[in-house]
Amino acid sequence: MQMLSSFFWKRQGHCSSRFTSASRRREWCQPCKMMAPVFAELNGEEDKVKFCKVNVDEQPNLASMFGIDSIPTLAVVQDRHTLTGMVGVHDKADIKAMLEKCKA
């Protein structure tokens, strides 16, 4: 899974026609660690979604750009616009359902 930085987002974040699902997290965040295997599974299953992660301690400007107040946050972005998102711990089925709505 790609770790996003401001530089990467400015250079490549808008170049894909696929959805980008960015997980905002902190290394010390236990709920973020709980969600990591779910995101890894979905990353391997979803061919129309590019999963990325952002360490909000290292990239506060990206967190600010997307209005991230809480972690973990999952944001679905297309063409540099946030379509939807989820805050907190969610199961794989809930995340897949959210992604399917975005694809429709």
Residues recognised as catalytic: 29, 32
**Omega before 60 cis (within 30°)?**
no
* Biggest CA pair distance of the chain: 35
Characterise 5 by phi-psi region: left (phi > 0), alpha (psi -120 to 50), beta (else).
Answer: beta
Q: Could you tell me if 66 and 37 are in contact, meaning their C-beta atoms sit under 8 angstroms apart?
A: no
Residue at token pair 């999963």: 51
Instruction: Measure CA 48 to chain center.
Output: 14
